[in-house]
Amino acid sequence: MVRIALITIAMVFVALFIFIPVIAVFAEALRKGVGAYFAAIANPEARAAIRLTLMTAAIAVPLNVTFGIAASWAIARFDFPGKQTLLTLIDIPFSVSPVISGMLFVLLLGVRAPLGGFLAAHGIRVIFAEPGIVLATLFVTFPLAARELIPIMQAVGSEEEEAAIVLGAGGWQMFFRVTIPNVKWGLLYGLVLCNARAMGEFGAVSVVSGHIQGHTNTMPLYVEILYNDFQFAAAFAVSSLLTMLAIATLIAKRFLERRVVPVKQAQDELAVKVAA
Amino acid sequence: MSIELRNIAKKFGDFVAVDNLNLHIETGELVALLGLSGSGKTTLLRIIAGLETPDTGEVLFHGEDASDVSVRERKVGFVFQHYALFRHMTVFENVAFGLRVIPRRARPAEAAIARRVHELLKLVQLDFLADRYPSQLSGGQRQRVALARTLAVEPKVLLLDEPFGALDAKVRQELRRWLRRLHDEIKITSVFVTHDQEEALELANRIVVMNQGRIEQIGSAEEVYHHPANAFVYNFLGNVNLFHGRIENGRVFLGDTAVELENTHAHAHPETGKAVLYVRPHLLEIVMKPNGKQTFPATVKSINPAGPQVKIELVAEWGDMVQVEIDHERYQALHLEPGANVFLRPKEQKLFVYSI
Ligand SMILES: Nc1ncnc2c1ncn2[C@@H]1O[C@H](COP(=O)(O)OP(=O)(O)OP(=O)(O)O)[C@@H](O)[C@H]1O
Ligand SMILES: [Mg+2]
């Protein structure tokens, strides 16, 4: 009885808050017909927003993943002074509101700040320009890959890497043939999460962008502008793209989680055996 | 290739894992490192391989200091305690790994690699499993893959960390014999770690008994078993009964009885001190009548006639438990029952005396 009640409650919530809105997004997007839908997406400003979003993700994701691999490897393999501090610092973007993150960059790199002023004097605009958007996105996605990789690296352990070295592998050979393949599912998982966040980020990016149409609008910002402009169909058309990204991310996430978990479990079992 | 360790010491924090250790291993030798868990065996192997840097001392390969030689250049084969097979590679790829990472100029062609891998897999009798992943193998099979993988790069030195640790007795026996044969065939300088004394005695040319990061004794199986350097070694190698007593003016007291013993191998011979008498179970004789001061009384507690020898547990007059092994004929002749009062006569014993 309780079970049925609980399941029903859960289902109703999912339907109410997830399923219906997702359907609504697509329904609204197509309200004025397929032609209007594609016109809204093909609009030059929409295309600029899509381009900027893709570019931001294309820069932020590889950098983030590179940092994630380096940080997680160092943390899992070595003891060094400042390790705990590094672990704490990695988490900062998670604990700070994205809006505040954005304001931090404005404070640091705005034209009136010393550093921002210096850059501006050399013709480099950061705030209210693309570099600011990329920086803000980098900042908010910063912990994603590292957080995902640290426990996996720790679980996998260093024995296989040592085996590779003893067998004559060089540092990079070990890295690409043993270290990376051992964490590849976790890495992909981190990559998917990071990509989703990079494309969907609103708060931090909103603060540093300045909303210059056709220049510093990412997709989420563009949606907001359209919406405030009462262009609902167009707003939902662009939203539907982000929604599709979200759905694709969820599917990839489900698939990857199934791959990542067995690695951890196998390691745990091994650890238990060894302990026994 | 010969290996020499000079004054090797290694600490982890304040904990001394290896304590000023010296060891020389001849080319082609098969040496066993024997010791309790935590005695520093793995640490020592890792130091030889270069995976760990000693705090002091040096490792010499073939008489040359290897301190500046990197792990990959040392040409050692290391079989890890938990195999450390590459989990994302098939058995074939695991074995081929060492060949694939050779710089391109010197790397054998793909066909030659395949030939070599299959050769090695045949050697360890696992050719039919080439396409499996490590997780699909049994413990013994993983062990042999690890060995084949190590042999692929033709190491000059083979280091095996508890190669048969996690296996059942039967497979252990089999692999043990197999390793012995392999060593006889390719004569590679080998060091293997074990805490199974039987394994060490059966396999090795020489046995190094370790305790708390130090070497207690080095010698052939015969030497360490029959001429143990000290109480630790004797106690460690094989089952042994321990009698705590005193030695006064050259006479040994167990409990209140003065026992006068023949064939006592006392290490140091002070006239007075605490004494520990070690007697192996098969070196105790059960007799029905006392024989002067050479015997002491005991009561039979339990009898286990299963196995090649009859195992009898007794309680000595002064309360110590005593284990005795006699053969079946003797057992039949004695008509022993639990509760029977008998006398024990050590045929040979070791006496280790500590000054008070
Ligand atoms: N990386 C390390 N950090 C701290 N202590 C260590 C480290 N490696 C080993 N030790 C300690 O050094 C001691 C010797 O360890 P080692 O692994 O050499 O023992 P072992 O003889 O191989 O034992 P076993 O038979 O259980 O494998 C142990 O007490 C262990 O706790
Ligand atoms: Mg060990």
Reduce the DSSP state of residue B133 to 3 states and report it: coil
Q: Are B48 and B40 in contact (CB under 8 A)?
A: no
Q: Is the CB of B40 under 6 A from ligand 1?
A: yes
Amino acid sitting at position A6: L
Which residue carries 């893709």 as its tokens? A54
For CA atoms A168, A170, A171, A172, give the dihedral sign: negative
State the pLDDT at residue B356.
43
User: A173 vs B101: CB contact, 8 Å cut-off?
Assistant: yes
CA angle B40, B217, B275 (to 5 degrees): 105
Burial environment of residue A233 by CB neighbours within 10 A (0 to 12, 13 to 18, 19 or more)? middle
Q: What is the DSSP string of A35-91?
A: HHHHHHHHSHHHHHHHHHHHHHHHHHHHHHHHHHHHHHHHHHH---TTHHHHHHHHH
Reduce the DSSP state of residue B195 to 3 states and report it: coil
Strand segments (E) across B220-320 = 241-248, 251-254, 257-259, 264-266, 273-279, 284-287, 296-304, 310-316
User: A164 vs B149: CB contact, 8 Å cut-off?
Assistant: no
Q: How far apart are CA B191 and CA A138, in angstroms?
A: 51
Token reading at B53 = 């840097």
Q: With a cut of 50, which residues of chain B have pLDDT below it?
A: 355-356
Q: How far apart are CA B112 and CA B49, in angstroms?
A: 28
Q: Please count the CA atoms within 13 angstroms of the CA of A233 that sit on its side-chain side.
A: 12
What separation in Å is there between the alpha carbon of B37 and the centre of ligand 2? 7
Q: By CA distance, what is A184's nearest residue in B?
A: B88
User: B149 vs A159: CB contact, 8 Å cut-off?
Assistant: no
State the pLDDT at residue A265.
58
Ligand 1 pocket, mutate which of B16, B34, B42 (most atoms under 8 A from CB):
B42
Q: With a cut of 50, which residues of chain A have pLDDT below it?
A: none
Contacts of A177 in chain B (CB under 8 A): 86, 97, 100-101
State the pLDDT at residue A153.
92
For CA atoms B267, B269, B275, B278, give the dihedral sign: positive
The DSSP call for residue B83 is B
Residue A231: partners with Cβ closer than 8 Å, 6 or more residues away: A40
Q: How far apart are CA B142 and CA A184, in angstroms?
A: 23
Q: By CA distance, what is B50's nearest residue in A?
A: A166
Q: Are A200 and A250 in contact (CB under 8 A)?
A: no
Amino acid sitting at position A203: G
* Of A273, A275, A263, A272, nearest in space to A154 by CA: A263
Q: How far apart are CA A157 and CA A167, in angstroms?
A: 17
What separation in Å is there between the alpha carbon of B81 and the centre of ligand 2? 7
State the pLDDT at residue B269.
54
Q: How far apart are CA A12 and CA A219, in angstroms?
A: 30
What separation in Å is there between the alpha carbon of B38 and the centre of ligand 1? 5
For ligand 1, atom 1: residue with the closest CA: B12
Reduce the DSSP state of residue B124 to 3 states and report it: coil
User: A160 vs B150: CB contact, 8 Å cut-off?
Assistant: no
For ligand 1, atom 27: residue with the closest CA: B37
Which residue carries 């039987």 as its tokens? B198
First-residue to last-residue Cα distance in chain B: 47
State the pLDDT at residue A268.
57
Contacts of B51 in chain A (CB under 8 A): 162, 165-166
